[in-house]
Amino acid sequence: MTLSILFSQDKIAVSVTKEGLMKTTLYQGNHTFTVENKEKLPPKSDEVRIKVAYCGVCGTDVHIYHGVMDKRVNIPLTIGHEMSGIVDAIGAQVSHIHVGDKVVVRPLDSRGEKPSDKGFSHICEDLKFIGIDSPGAMQQYWNVPAFTIHKLPEETDLRLAALVEPLAVACHDVRLSRLKKSEMAVVLGGGPIGMLVAMVARTTGASVIISEVNQTRIKLARELGFTVVDPGVENLIDFVRSQTDGHLADVVFEVAGVQSTVDIMVDIAGIRGRIVMVAIHGQPKSVDLFKFFWKELQLIGVRVYEKEDYETAIQLITENRLPFDKMITAVKPLDHVQQVFENIDKHPDGMKILLDCQV
């Protein structure tokens, strides 16, 4: 057994020297990324190696950069999970995926799933998030378990495909909201996820209002064709009432994560309204539970996505009928990673920044 392992390691070592070098970025803690050359590793038997095309910066990546998640992240770590790429090599046991396939990764490692997770593998108690709990995509080549792969059609634009992961979040949120044509939804918060939620919500045929206070985001939301209310200027409750003959909202997406949106979400939801909790509230908030009773409101917690949400997102991106291009604020070379994160802190009202991992 020991001999076999040694032999196997030798083989890998031999392979490594044959595979050549690649650029990788490493979060080093203390607001610092380094860019290093590393040996490309061959995929393990159940893995796929992807030549990463683009990797977007998620809000979670920014949290990691801020050091907020240093207890969870095994520093130094390559982070990143909003990516697209092309399969570069496959492990011996991998079938149905081929070198040259355009792909995205659903970065959920549910191998620790237990019966007590009731089949909800995407939020299982022992879920590992790839790119946070294990190495991510902000590098030129990325080895991942084959089960995380979703293939893209040949015609899919790889730049837009880096939006599949956050778009799948939005698809999940809208699906669980049960929003339908003839209904009205209010999205509280017009950041990247809020904007994608609004775009997906509109595909149901429902009318959508975005509530946002940042002027840059308000401008973009209006360019995207949304009705936008700045609750600092206009009374949101009155506005929603006037737009709905008093019905108020059928669905409210709480994407802002602050006390003021938690306060207003129960006021703008009409009778039997569904409030979707997209935001991550790090601290408990004061909630008017009386209004849940009085109007028979529902609060629906939502987290990440399931397989079908990825497939919906891939279809939307491939069809490219929604204004996804406007969601990409900038594309920067991979080795500008440090500067990219510093710039996000200086301009936090942008949408998606992509790292181009091909250069």
Q: Which of 44, 150, 151, 247 binds a copy of itself (CB under 8 A)?
A: 247
Site for a copy of itself in 155-214 (CB under 8 A): 176
In eight-state DSSP terms, residue 348 is: T
Site for a copy of itself in 259-288 (CB under 8 A): 262, 270-272, 277-282, 284-288
Active-site residue 63, yes or no? yes
Q: How far is the CB of 285 from a copy of itself (least distance, A)?
A: 6
Q: Which is nearer to a copy of itself, 30 or 116 (by Cβ)?
A: 116
Q: Which of 4, 30, 95, 116 binds a copy of itself (CB under 8 A)?
A: 116
Q: Choose, from 24, 60, 156, 244, the residue flagged as catalytic.
A: 60
Scanning 40-48, 98-106, 117-125, 225-233 for contacts with a copy of itself by CB under 8 A, the matching segment is 117-125
Per the rule left: phi > 0, alpha: psi between -120 and 50, beta: everything else, 96 is left
Strands 82-90 and 102-105: antiparallel
Q: Which of 13, 68, 120, 180 binds a copy of itself (CB under 8 A)?
A: 120
**CB of 140 closer than 8 Å to CB of 21:** no
Task: For residue 167, give the nearest of 206, 194, 196, 187 by alpha carbon.
Answer: 196
Q: Does 297 bind a copy of itself (CB under 8 A)?
A: yes
**CB of 279 closer than 8 Å to CB of 256:** yes
| Token pair of 190 as six digits | 């017009």
Q: How far is the CB of 234 from a copy of itself (least distance, A)?
A: 21
Active-site residue 281, yes or no? no
Q: Which of 63, 150, 151, 303 binds a copy of itself (CB under 8 A)?
A: 303
> In the 3-class helix/strand/coil scheme, how is 27-63 assigned residue by residue?
ECCCCCEEEEEEECCCCCCCEEEEEEEEEECCHHHHH
> What's the start-to-end Cα distance of the chain, in Å?
42
Q: Which is nearer to a copy of itself, 12 or 289 (by Cβ)?
A: 289
Residues 89, 42: Cα–Cα separation, whole Å: 7
Strands 47-56 and 82-90: antiparallel
Q: How far is the CB of 350 from a copy of itself (least distance, A)?
A: 24
Q: How far is the CB of 277 from a copy of itself (least distance, A)?
A: 5
Q: Which is nearer to a copy of itself, 30 or 283 (by Cβ)?
A: 283
Q: How far is the CB of 128 from a copy of itself (least distance, A)?
A: 15
Q: How far is the CB of 117 from a copy of itself (least distance, A)?
A: 6
**CB of 138 closer than 8 Å to CB of 56:** no
Residues 52, 83: Cα–Cα separation, whole Å: 7
**What is the binding site for a copy of itself (CB under 8 A)?**
114-118, 120, 123-125, 176, 244-248, 262, 270-272, 277-282, 284-303
Active-site positions? 60, 63
